[in-house]
Structure 1
Amino acid sequence: MWQQTFCLILLVIITGSLSVSGDMTVSPVVFVPRGEDAILSCSFTHSRQQDYSGKIAVKWLARESNTPPFIICTVKNDSTEGLCSVPELKHSLLGDPRRGELSLLIRRVHLSDNGTYFCRVELDGWRNSFQKGTQLYVTVKPQILNLSVVESHSGSDSASRRLRCEVEGHPLPTVTWLSASRGLLKDQVQTSTVSPYQLVSTVPYLEEDVFTCRVENMVGGAERRYPASYTLMITALTVCGLVVLLLLLCAGFVVCRRNRARVESPPVYENTTAVKKHRLHESNVELQLVYSAVSMTHSTSSQHKSLRSSSQQQQEEEPGVVYSPVNIQSCEGNSRL
């Protein structure tokens, strides 16, 4: 009996001397959008960090805690050997295990990468292993894969055709149906899950109506109308309206510039007579014609009187016209002319 007790005491002493106390820290959940790189952080510290000279084995396991690891990296704590990171691979370690850095890098994650991962580290000695799990959650913004009319086999005339909306997203999005004539649709909506990341929703289809399939989840949303020509028509009308508005604005601008140029610039005339008439018209000056009767000094008085009387007669016949006699003296030497 005393021999068994001695063996147990010896086993406890040996086990205690070989075991190492340590602490491991991981992120409980990591959210990463599809197509981006994911980093599952894992760090480790132990009581013999400074004087430990044995091996450090880093392992990463997927889905189950007892499955074979898909990554194994072993380094010696007191060596300067290279690390286990391989940039070309989809999975690789980040950091230096000798400093307690055990994080996992997954490049360009997909929906198939979703799940639980386990970070495990093993040191020399019995019972010197530590393991914790972390959850990778790959998110996908909702998108509508297909929106089309399908034949229904329900046997009802009113629902012989249904509008089918195929949706993808993670987490699975919620589907909302809108009708242009009836608003939010709640009755006769059928939704079923196709896969953990896809679902299908249908509503009765009426040809005279316009439907909208709207999907939403925690990372975004999307929507699509049916028939699509309705959306295209609205877009075309909007574009045409903008083009017409721009043309009207340009035409109005050109007309305003022309009118302003006509007001600011003086008129141009082909001859000086038109210029004189324009100036007289602007200054409101009344034009009065003056006629002169010319006579020679050697003319008789009777002739001078006849000219004066004729000028008075013409003035009476043409009102507004003034006639003035003019006397011209001639030299005796030129009287013969």
Structure 2
Amino acid sequence: MWQQTFCLILSVIITGSFSVSGDMTVSPVVFVPRGEDAILSCSFTHSRQQDYSGKIAVKWLARESNALPFIICTVKNDSTEGLCSVPELKHSLLGDPRWGELSLLIRRVHLSDNGTYFCRVELDGWRNSFQKGTQLYVTVKPQILNLSVVESHSGSDSASRRLRCEVEGHPLPTVTWLSASRGLLKDQVQTSTVSPYQLVSTVPYLEEDVFTCRVENMVGGAERRYPASYTLMITALTVCGLVVLLLLCAGFIVCRRNRVENHHLHESDCPVEGDVELQLVYSAVSMTNSTSSQHKSLRSSSQQQQQQQQEPGVIYSPVNIQSRVRCEGNSRL
């Protein structure tokens, strides 16, 4: 018994503190699209959380568990000092180590940031250290970098020219070739990996055919046709067809509106019994006092001015005369 006590006292003297038990939690895999910020979560709790007053050293390592840390942040658990987060840097701590928050923030991740990261925390004493790894997986939506015809200098097929499709994506996408005349192509397809994020696929090229290179992975897909003029021609024909259809509809609407307006115009101009025309009729009237007084009461100011220029003793009076004229508009409509 005294030997165990002596070893414990000796351990305290050497390490400066008692060993503590703790628990560290990290995310096994973190998926982040290229160009966005990544957060690698890491939290830590230990048995002396309430009364611990020593130092807390947080370290983040990349690729190897024994690599040199690229982030080191040390704070005292009972202090009010500032944290180690620096907004301008690509890597910084996200959280307060005094509360067990040890997460890592990586701003605007790229494909080169892919890999394993290790979260490490050290308390006072060489035995009081804990470390766990987490995987950062930067995803890239597939895209076709280039689609062109190249000369073939080798291969089992007899085609001297091949259509080459250069693709980028993470995870590496699958490539599917389609032919306008033959459908899905499986034979004579050659695909090779250029890098962990790029590959190249080729098929024999026939000028009279139209090919489609289609790529897909877990985050999306893309496709492109060759030759490109074929796609442009289809698009142009589609647009022209829509324009012609709109013009025809507009012309039909205008013609219909004109017919309706003409129909209403003929109906207003042509009564049922025929056209009515106003004609000027001359009539000889004897100049008696009674007749003269009757006409004087019917004359307007405009008629009086006209009569002043006519011969004396003659009275002009408008008379309605109906002419039997057939309304052509009504008969047609």
Question: Quick one: percent identity of the two aligned structures?
Answer: 96
How far 1:322 moved relative to its partner?
27
Quick one: structure 1 residues 248 and 333, their matched pair in 2 at CA, closer, same or farther if it must change by over 3 Å? Answer: closer
How far 1:326 moved relative to its partner?
21
Q: 2:266 maps to which residue?
A: 281
- CA deviations 1:75-101 (Å, max 9, x no partner) are 000000000000000000001000000
C-alpha contact (below 8 Å) 2:25/2:42 kept by paired residues:
yes
TM-score between the two structures when normalised by the length of structure 1: 0.73
C-alpha contact (below 8 Å) 2:20/2:46 kept by paired residues:
yes
How far 1:229 moved relative to its partner?
0.4
C-alpha contact (below 8 Å) 1:19/1:127 kept by paired residues:
yes
Q: 1:66 maps to which residue?
A: 66
How far 1:157 moved relative to its partner?
7.9
How far 1:252 moved relative to its partner?
3.0
- CA deviations 1:122-181 (Å, max 9, x no partner) are 000231000000000000000000000000012778410000000000000000000000
| d(CA) in 1 for partners of 2:329, 2:155 | 137
| d(CA) in 2 for partners of 1:336, 1:220 | 64
Q: 2:246 maps to which residue?
A: 247
Quick one: structure 1 residues 14 and 234, their matched pair in 2 at CA, closer, same or farther if it must change by over 3 Å? Answer: same
Quick one: structure 1 residues 256 and 59, their matched pair in 2 at CA, closer, same or farther if it must change by over 3 Å? Answer: same
| d(CA) in 2 for partners of 1:203, 1:334 | 72
How far 1:324 moved relative to its partner?
24
Per the alignment, in what secondary structure is the counterpart of residue 80 of structure 2?
Answer: coil
Per the alignment, in what secondary structure is the counterpart of residue 142 of structure 1?
Answer: strand
Number of residue equivalences: 320
Which segment drifts farther, 52-61 or 247-256? 247-256
- CA deviations 1:209-254 (Å, max 9, x no partner) are 000000000000000000000000011111111111x543453354
Per the alignment, in what secondary structure is the counterpart of residue 299 of structure 2?
Answer: helix
Per the alignment, in what secondary structure is the counterpart of residue 92 of structure 2?
Answer: strand
- 2:306 equivalent to 1:313: yes
Quick one: structure 1 residues 180 and 294, their matched pair in 2 at CA, closer, same or farther if it must change by over 3 Å? Answer: same
TM-score between the two structures when normalised by the length of structure 2: 0.74
How far 1:43 moved relative to its partner?
0.3
Which segment drifts farther, 291-300 or 93-102? 291-300
Per the alignment, in what secondary structure is the counterpart of residue 286 of structure 2?
Answer: strand
Quick one: structure 1 residues 185 and 7, their matched pair in 2 at CA, closer, same or farther if it must change by over 3 Å? Answer: same
- CA deviations 1:30-67 (Å, max 9, x no partner) are 00000000000000000101100000000000000000
- CA deviations 1:253-300 (Å, max 9, x no partner) are 5434543xxxxxxxxxx99xxxxxx99999999999999999999999
C-alpha contact (below 8 Å) 1:152/1:159 kept by paired residues:
yes
Which segment drifts farther, 41-50 or 1-10? 1-10
Which segment drifts farther, 63-72 or 11-20? 11-20
C-alpha contact (below 8 Å) 2:278/2:319 kept by paired residues:
no
Aligned structure 1 segments of 4 or more residues deviating by more than 4 angstroms: 1-17, 278-337
**Over aligned residues, Cα RMSD in angstroms?**
13.2
Gaps of 5+ in 1: 260-269, 272-277
| d(CA) in 2 for partners of 1:75, 1:98 | 8
Which segment drifts farther, 191-200 or 5-14? 5-14
C-alpha contact (below 8 Å) 2:277/2:321 kept by paired residues:
no
C-alpha contact (below 8 Å) 1:56/1:75 kept by paired residues:
yes
Gaps of 5+ in 2: 269-274
Which segment drifts farther, 278-287 or 185-194? 278-287
Quick one: structure 1 residues 77 and 180, their matched pair in 2 at CA, closer, same or farther if it must change by over 3 Å? Answer: same
| d(CA) in 2 for partners of 1:27, 1:282 | 84
Per the alignment, in what secondary structure is the counterpart of residue 49 of structure 1?
Answer: coil
Q: 1:263 maps to which residue?
A: none
Which segment drifts farther, 233-242 or 37-46? 233-242
Quick one: structure 1 residues 295 and 6, their matched pair in 2 at CA, closer, same or farther if it must change by over 3 Å? Answer: closer
| d(CA) in 1 for partners of 2:209, 2:329 | 117
How far 1:10 moved relative to its partner?
5.3
| d(CA) in 2 for partners of 1:42, 1:305 | 114
